[in-house]
Protein backbone atom coordinates (compact mmCIF):
# COMPACT_ATOMS: atom_id res chain seq x y z
CA UNK A 1 0.00 0.00 0.00
CA UNK A 2 1.20 3.51 -0.90
CA UNK A 3 -0.67 6.48 0.54
CA UNK A 4 -0.37 10.15 -0.38
CA UNK A 5 -0.82 12.44 2.63
CA UNK A 6 -1.84 16.12 2.39
CA UNK A 7 -1.62 18.56 5.33
CA UNK A 8 -2.58 22.26 5.27
CA UNK A 9 -4.39 22.78 8.58
CA UNK A 10 -2.35 25.81 9.65
CA UNK A 11 0.91 27.28 8.36
CA UNK A 12 2.75 24.24 7.01
CA UNK A 13 2.19 23.05 3.43
CA UNK A 14 3.11 19.38 3.49
CA UNK A 15 2.79 16.34 1.25
CA UNK A 16 4.19 12.87 1.78
CA UNK A 17 4.07 9.35 0.41
CA UNK A 18 4.32 6.42 2.81
CA UNK A 19 4.40 2.75 1.87
CA UNK A 20 3.85 -0.53 3.62
CA UNK A 21 6.89 -2.81 3.62
CA UNK A 22 7.14 -6.61 3.62
CA UNK A 23 6.90 -6.66 7.42
CA UNK A 24 3.58 -4.84 7.36
CA UNK A 25 5.12 -1.62 8.69
CA UNK A 26 4.87 1.80 7.09
CA UNK A 27 7.97 3.63 5.90
CA UNK A 28 8.48 7.14 4.59
CA UNK A 29 9.03 7.09 0.85
CA UNK A 30 9.22 10.86 0.41
CA UNK A 31 8.03 13.91 2.29
CA UNK A 32 8.19 17.63 1.53
CA UNK A 33 7.20 20.64 3.59
CA UNK A 34 7.07 24.40 3.01
CA UNK A 35 7.06 26.34 6.28
CA UNK A 36 5.44 29.75 6.64
CA UNK A 37 7.08 30.64 9.96
CA UNK A 38 9.03 33.57 8.51
CA UNK A 39 5.89 34.88 6.79
CA UNK A 40 3.83 34.97 9.99
CA UNK A 41 6.66 35.91 12.34
CA UNK A 42 6.12 39.63 11.83
CA UNK A 43 2.47 39.24 12.89
CA UNK A 44 3.33 37.29 16.04
CA UNK A 45 0.96 34.51 14.96
CA UNK A 46 -0.70 32.85 11.99
CA UNK A 47 -2.97 35.00 9.81
CA UNK A 48 -5.48 32.58 8.21
CA UNK A 49 -5.93 34.34 4.85
CA UNK A 50 -2.19 34.82 4.45
CA UNK A 51 -1.68 31.14 5.27
CA UNK A 52 -4.17 30.14 2.59
CA UNK A 53 -2.40 32.21 -0.08
CA UNK A 54 0.93 30.68 0.88
CA UNK A 55 -0.56 27.18 0.64
CA UNK A 56 -1.82 27.94 -2.87
CA UNK A 57 1.62 29.18 -3.91
CA UNK A 58 3.43 26.12 -2.52
CA UNK A 59 1.19 23.09 -2.87
CA UNK A 60 1.43 22.40 -6.62
CA UNK A 61 5.23 22.80 -6.83
CA UNK A 62 5.50 20.39 -3.89
CA UNK A 63 3.17 17.92 -5.59
CA UNK A 64 5.30 18.07 -8.75
CA UNK A 65 8.47 17.55 -6.72
CA UNK A 66 7.07 14.39 -5.13
CA UNK A 67 7.41 12.78 -8.54
CA UNK A 68 4.09 10.95 -8.60
CA UNK A 69 3.02 9.88 -12.07
CA UNK A 70 0.45 12.15 -13.71
CA UNK A 71 -2.30 9.55 -13.45
CA UNK A 72 -1.47 8.73 -9.83
CA UNK A 73 -0.18 5.28 -10.78
CA UNK A 74 1.16 3.46 -7.73
CA UNK A 75 -0.88 5.45 -5.22
CA UNK A 76 -3.53 3.34 -3.50
CA UNK A 77 -5.26 6.02 -1.42
CA UNK A 78 -5.18 9.75 -0.69
CA UNK A 79 -5.36 11.00 2.90
CA UNK A 80 -6.07 14.66 3.61
CA UNK A 81 -6.47 16.68 6.79
CA UNK A 82 -10.09 17.82 6.83
CA UNK A 83 -10.02 19.37 10.30
CA UNK A 84 -9.60 20.81 12.82
CA UNK A 85 -7.64 23.90 11.85
CA UNK A 86 -7.95 27.24 10.09
CA UNK A 87 -10.72 26.91 7.56
CA UNK A 88 -9.08 28.99 4.76
CA UNK A 89 -5.95 26.85 5.09
CA UNK A 90 -7.80 23.54 5.41
CA UNK A 91 -9.76 24.20 2.23
CA UNK A 92 -6.62 24.28 0.09
CA UNK A 93 -5.57 20.77 1.06
CA UNK A 94 -9.11 19.40 1.05
CA UNK A 95 -9.80 20.69 -2.45
CA UNK A 96 -6.52 19.28 -3.75
CA UNK A 97 -7.32 15.89 -2.23
CA UNK A 98 -10.79 15.91 -3.77
CA UNK A 99 -9.49 16.84 -7.23
CA UNK A 100 -6.75 14.21 -7.18
CA UNK A 101 -9.17 11.56 -5.94
CA UNK A 102 -11.59 12.38 -8.76
CA UNK A 103 -9.00 12.69 -11.54
CA UNK A 104 -6.86 9.72 -10.48
CA UNK A 105 -9.88 7.63 -9.44
CA UNK A 106 -8.30 6.88 -6.08
CA UNK A 107 -10.17 6.46 -2.77
CA UNK A 108 -10.10 9.42 -0.40
CA UNK A 109 -9.69 9.39 3.38
CA UNK A 110 -10.59 12.36 5.59
CA UNK A 111 -8.15 12.49 8.50
CA UNK A 112 -8.58 14.29 11.80
CA UNK A 113 -5.46 16.38 12.40
CA UNK A 114 -5.31 15.34 16.06
CA UNK A 115 -5.42 11.67 15.11
CA UNK A 116 -2.50 12.36 12.80
CA UNK A 117 -0.44 13.63 15.73
CA UNK A 118 -1.20 10.47 17.69
CA UNK A 119 -0.15 8.31 14.74
CA UNK A 120 3.14 10.18 14.41
CA UNK A 121 4.66 7.68 16.87
CA UNK A 122 3.83 4.73 14.59
CA UNK A 123 6.30 5.48 11.81
CA UNK A 124 9.90 4.33 11.57
CA UNK A 125 11.88 7.29 10.13
CA UNK A 126 14.27 4.98 8.25
CA UNK A 127 14.22 1.26 7.39
CA UNK A 128 17.02 0.73 9.95
CA UNK A 129 15.16 2.56 12.72
CA UNK A 130 12.90 0.26 14.66
CA UNK A 131 10.86 1.87 17.42
CA UNK A 132 8.61 -0.35 19.56
CA UNK A 133 4.96 0.34 18.83
CA UNK A 134 2.63 1.36 21.66
CA UNK A 135 0.27 -1.28 22.96
CA UNK A 136 -3.39 -0.67 23.68
CA UNK A 137 -4.83 0.68 25.83
CA UNK A 138 -2.68 3.81 25.32
CA UNK A 139 -3.00 7.14 27.13
CA UNK A 140 -2.24 10.03 24.79
CA UNK A 141 -1.16 13.47 25.95
CA UNK A 142 -1.70 15.60 22.86
CA UNK A 143 -0.14 19.04 23.27
CA UNK A 144 -0.13 21.53 20.41
CA UNK A 145 -0.76 25.18 19.60
CA UNK A 146 -4.50 24.73 19.44
CA UNK A 147 -5.16 21.67 21.61
CA UNK A 148 -4.21 20.18 24.94
CA UNK A 149 -6.04 16.90 25.51
CA UNK A 150 -5.75 13.62 27.34
CA UNK A 151 -7.13 10.83 25.17
CA UNK A 152 -7.56 7.17 25.99
CA UNK A 153 -6.86 5.15 22.84
CA UNK A 154 -8.37 1.69 23.25
CA UNK A 155 -7.62 0.52 19.71
CA UNK A 156 -7.09 1.97 16.25
CA UNK A 157 -9.88 4.51 15.79
CA UNK A 158 -11.33 3.92 19.27
CA UNK A 159 -10.87 7.04 21.43
CA UNK A 160 -12.20 8.42 24.68
CA UNK A 161 -11.58 12.05 25.63
CA UNK A 162 -10.85 12.20 29.36
CA UNK A 163 -9.45 15.72 29.70
CA UNK A 164 -8.90 18.94 27.76
CA UNK A 165 -8.01 22.58 28.20
CA UNK A 166 -10.80 24.89 29.27
CA UNK A 167 -9.18 27.95 27.70
CA UNK A 168 -5.72 28.38 26.17
CA UNK A 169 -3.87 25.34 24.88
CA UNK A 170 -0.32 24.87 26.17
CA UNK A 171 1.21 25.77 22.80
CA UNK A 172 -0.97 28.86 22.58
CA UNK A 173 0.22 29.89 26.04
CA UNK A 174 3.84 29.48 24.92
CA UNK A 175 3.17 31.74 21.92
CA UNK A 176 1.46 34.42 23.99
CA UNK A 177 4.10 34.46 26.72
CA UNK A 178 6.88 34.60 24.13
CA UNK A 179 5.17 37.63 22.62
CA UNK A 180 4.91 39.27 26.06
CA UNK A 181 8.62 38.66 26.60
CA UNK A 182 9.53 39.94 23.16
CA UNK A 183 11.22 36.67 22.25
CA UNK A 184 9.56 36.11 18.87
CA UNK A 185 7.48 33.44 17.19
CA UNK A 186 6.82 30.51 17.43
CA UNK A 187 6.83 30.62 21.20
CA UNK A 188 7.78 27.07 22.14
CA UNK A 189 11.33 26.98 20.77
CA UNK A 190 12.25 30.55 21.78
CA UNK A 191 11.00 30.14 25.34
CA UNK A 192 12.84 26.81 25.68
CA UNK A 193 16.01 28.48 24.39
CA UNK A 194 15.72 31.42 26.78
CA UNK A 195 14.88 29.08 29.67
CA UNK A 196 18.27 27.38 29.29
CA UNK A 197 19.84 30.50 30.83
CA UNK A 198 17.21 30.96 33.53
CA UNK A 199 16.30 29.58 36.94
CA UNK A 200 13.07 27.53 36.84
CA UNK A 201 12.59 28.16 40.58
CA UNK A 202 13.08 31.93 40.36
CA UNK A 203 9.37 32.76 40.20
CA UNK A 204 6.58 30.74 41.77
CA UNK A 205 4.01 30.81 38.99
CA UNK A 206 0.66 29.05 39.61
CA UNK A 207 -0.05 25.54 38.39
CA UNK A 208 -3.68 26.01 37.27
CA UNK A 209 -6.12 23.17 38.08
CA UNK A 210 -3.27 20.91 39.15
CA UNK A 211 -5.25 19.75 42.19
CA UNK A 212 -8.66 19.47 40.51
CA UNK A 213 -10.43 16.11 40.59
CA UNK A 214 -10.72 15.96 36.78
CA UNK A 215 -8.14 15.75 33.99
CA UNK A 216 -8.80 19.18 32.47
CA UNK A 217 -6.22 21.93 32.00
CA UNK A 218 -6.18 25.73 32.08
CA UNK A 219 -3.32 27.98 31.02
CA UNK A 220 -4.98 31.39 30.65
CA UNK A 221 -4.36 32.31 34.29
CA UNK A 222 -0.72 31.33 34.01
CA UNK A 223 -0.30 33.70 31.08
CA UNK A 224 -1.88 36.48 33.17
CA UNK A 225 0.51 35.71 36.02
CA UNK A 226 3.45 36.18 33.66
CA UNK A 227 2.03 39.53 32.55
CA UNK A 228 1.74 40.69 36.18
CA UNK A 229 5.28 39.56 36.91
CA UNK A 230 6.59 41.55 33.97
CA UNK A 231 4.80 44.69 35.12
CA UNK A 232 6.38 44.24 38.54
CA UNK A 233 9.82 43.75 37.03
CA UNK A 234 9.55 46.92 34.94
CA UNK A 235 8.58 48.89 38.03
CA UNK A 236 11.14 47.55 40.47
CA UNK A 237 14.22 46.71 38.42
CA UNK A 238 16.64 48.47 36.12
CA UNK A 239 16.58 47.72 32.39
CA UNK A 240 19.75 45.65 32.72
CA UNK A 241 18.35 43.39 35.43
CA UNK A 242 15.01 43.22 33.58
CA UNK A 243 16.76 41.81 30.50
CA UNK A 244 18.56 39.29 32.66
CA UNK A 245 15.28 38.31 34.31
CA UNK A 246 13.61 37.39 31.01
CA UNK A 247 15.34 34.02 31.14
CA UNK A 248 14.10 33.42 34.69
CA UNK A 249 10.54 34.23 33.66
CA UNK A 250 10.80 31.90 30.65
CA UNK A 251 12.28 29.08 32.74
CA UNK A 252 9.73 29.47 35.53
CA UNK A 253 6.83 29.61 33.08
CA UNK A 254 8.05 26.53 31.21
CA UNK A 255 8.47 24.66 34.49
CA UNK A 256 4.91 25.50 35.53
CA UNK A 257 3.48 24.24 32.21
CA UNK A 258 5.50 21.04 32.24
CA UNK A 259 4.76 20.26 35.86
CA UNK A 260 1.04 20.74 35.25
CA UNK A 261 1.02 18.51 32.15
CA UNK A 262 3.06 15.75 33.80
CA UNK A 263 1.09 15.77 37.05
CA UNK A 264 -2.27 15.53 35.28
CA UNK A 265 -1.04 12.81 32.94
CA UNK A 266 0.35 10.70 35.76
CA UNK A 267 -2.92 11.03 37.64
CA UNK A 268 -4.68 9.65 34.56
CA UNK A 269 -2.11 6.84 34.35
CA UNK A 270 -2.89 5.92 37.95
CA UNK A 271 -6.62 5.75 37.26
CA UNK A 272 -6.68 4.03 33.85
CA UNK A 273 -3.54 1.86 34.06
CA UNK A 274 -2.73 1.95 30.32
CA UNK A 275 -0.13 -0.24 28.70
CA UNK A 276 1.47 2.71 26.89
CA UNK A 277 1.75 6.48 27.21
CA UNK A 278 1.99 8.59 24.05
CA UNK A 279 3.22 12.19 24.01
CA UNK A 280 2.49 13.95 20.71
CA UNK A 281 1.77 17.31 19.10
CA UNK A 282 3.98 20.32 18.46
CA UNK A 283 4.79 20.89 22.14
CA UNK A 284 6.07 17.31 22.40
CA UNK A 285 9.30 18.72 20.94
CA UNK A 286 9.93 20.44 24.28
CA UNK A 287 12.84 18.54 25.80
CA UNK A 288 11.93 19.33 29.41
CA UNK A 289 8.44 17.92 28.88
CA UNK A 290 9.74 14.80 27.14
CA UNK A 291 12.34 14.07 29.77
CA UNK A 292 10.13 14.88 32.76
CA UNK A 293 7.19 12.72 31.64
CA UNK A 294 9.45 9.84 30.62
CA UNK A 295 11.40 9.87 33.90
CA UNK A 296 8.35 10.10 36.15
CA UNK A 297 6.56 7.35 34.19
CA UNK A 298 9.53 4.97 34.31
CA UNK A 299 10.07 5.65 38.00
CA UNK A 300 6.46 5.03 39.04
CA UNK A 301 5.34 2.56 36.35
CA UNK A 302 8.37 0.89 34.72
CA UNK A 303 6.12 -1.66 33.01
CA UNK A 304 4.31 1.06 30.98
CA UNK A 305 6.05 2.02 27.74
CA UNK A 306 6.64 5.64 26.73
CA UNK A 307 6.38 6.85 23.13
CA UNK A 308 7.08 10.22 21.52
CA UNK A 309 7.59 11.06 17.83
CA UNK A 310 10.91 11.90 16.25
CA UNK A 311 11.49 15.66 16.54
CA UNK A 312 10.86 16.27 12.84
CA UNK A 313 7.46 14.60 13.24
CA UNK A 314 6.31 16.69 16.21
CA UNK A 315 5.11 19.63 14.12
CA UNK A 316 2.42 19.55 11.46
CA UNK A 317 3.44 17.19 8.65
CA UNK A 318 1.88 15.01 5.96
CA UNK A 319 3.61 11.82 7.08
CA UNK A 320 1.38 11.48 10.12
CA UNK A 321 -1.70 12.19 8.00
CA UNK A 322 -0.72 9.46 5.53
CA UNK A 323 -0.15 6.95 8.34
CA UNK A 324 -3.47 7.71 10.03
CA UNK A 325 -5.16 7.62 6.63
CA UNK A 326 -3.61 4.25 5.83
CA UNK A 327 -5.17 2.69 8.91
CA UNK A 328 -8.58 4.01 7.84
CA UNK A 329 -7.97 2.84 4.28
CA UNK A 330 -7.24 -0.69 5.50
CA UNK A 331 -10.75 -0.69 6.97
CA UNK A 332 -12.24 0.80 3.79
CA UNK A 333 -13.24 3.99 5.63
CA UNK A 334 -13.38 6.32 2.65
CA UNK A 335 -15.32 9.51 1.91
CA UNK A 336 -17.05 10.84 -1.18
CA UNK A 337 -14.81 13.47 -2.81
CA UNK A 338 -17.89 15.31 -4.04
CA UNK A 339 -19.25 15.93 -0.56
CA UNK A 340 -16.16 16.33 1.63
CA UNK A 341 -15.80 19.79 3.21
CA UNK A 342 -13.22 21.29 5.56
CA UNK A 343 -14.36 21.23 9.19
CA UNK A 344 -12.40 23.70 11.35
CA UNK A 345 -14.06 22.37 14.52
CA UNK A 346 -13.74 18.68 13.73
CA UNK A 347 -13.67 16.56 16.88
CA UNK A 348 -11.72 13.36 17.37
CA UNK A 349 -14.14 12.16 20.03
pLDDT at position 243: 44
At 252-310, the pLDDT tens digits run 999 999 999 999 999 999 999 999 999 999 999 999 999 999 999 999 999 999 999 99
At 88-98, the pLDDT tens digits run 999 999 999 99
198 in Cβ contact with 243 (< 8 Å):
no
pLDDT band with cut points at 50, 70 and 90 for residue 129:
low
At 172-181, the pLDDT tens digits run 999 999 999 9
73 in Cβ contact with 334 (< 8 Å):
no
Residue 83, CB half-sphere, CA atoms under 13 Å: how many? 12
pLDDT at position 244: 47
pLDDT band with cut points at 50, 70 and 90 for residue 128:
low
Burial annotation 104-119 (CB, 10 A radius, 16+ → b, else e): bebbbbbbbbbbbbbb
DSSP 280-338: ESGGGG-HHHHHHHHHHHHHH-TTSEEE---GGGTSS-HHHHHHHHHHHHTTT--B-TT
Q: Do you find a cis peptide bond into 202, omega within 30 degrees of 0? A: no
Instruction: Please give the C-alpha separations between residue 64 and each of 72, 80, 81, 95, 128, in angstroms, as whole numbers.
Output: 12, 17, 20, 17, 28
As a whole number of angstroms, the distance between CA 298 and CA 329 comes to 35
In the three-class reduction of DSSP (H, G, I as helix; E, B as strand; rest coil), residue 94 is classed as: helix
The neighbour count for residue 299, using CB atoms within 10 Å, is 9
In the three-class reduction of DSSP (H, G, I as helix; E, B as strand; rest coil), residue 159 is classed as: strand
Domains of the chain: 2-125+312-329 (3.30.420.40), 138-308 (3.30.420.40)
pLDDT at position 233: 57
59 in Cβ contact with 13 (< 8 Å):
yes
Amino acid sequence: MRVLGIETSCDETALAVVKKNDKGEFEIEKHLLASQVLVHEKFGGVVPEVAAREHIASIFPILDELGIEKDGHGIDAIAVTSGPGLVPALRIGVELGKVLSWVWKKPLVAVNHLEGHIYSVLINPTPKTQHPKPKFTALCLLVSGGHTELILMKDHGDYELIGMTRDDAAGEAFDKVAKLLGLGYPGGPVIAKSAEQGNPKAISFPRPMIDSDDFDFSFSGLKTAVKREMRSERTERSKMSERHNTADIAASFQQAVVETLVTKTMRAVEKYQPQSVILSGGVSANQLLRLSLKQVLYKQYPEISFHAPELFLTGDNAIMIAIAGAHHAMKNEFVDPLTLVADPNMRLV
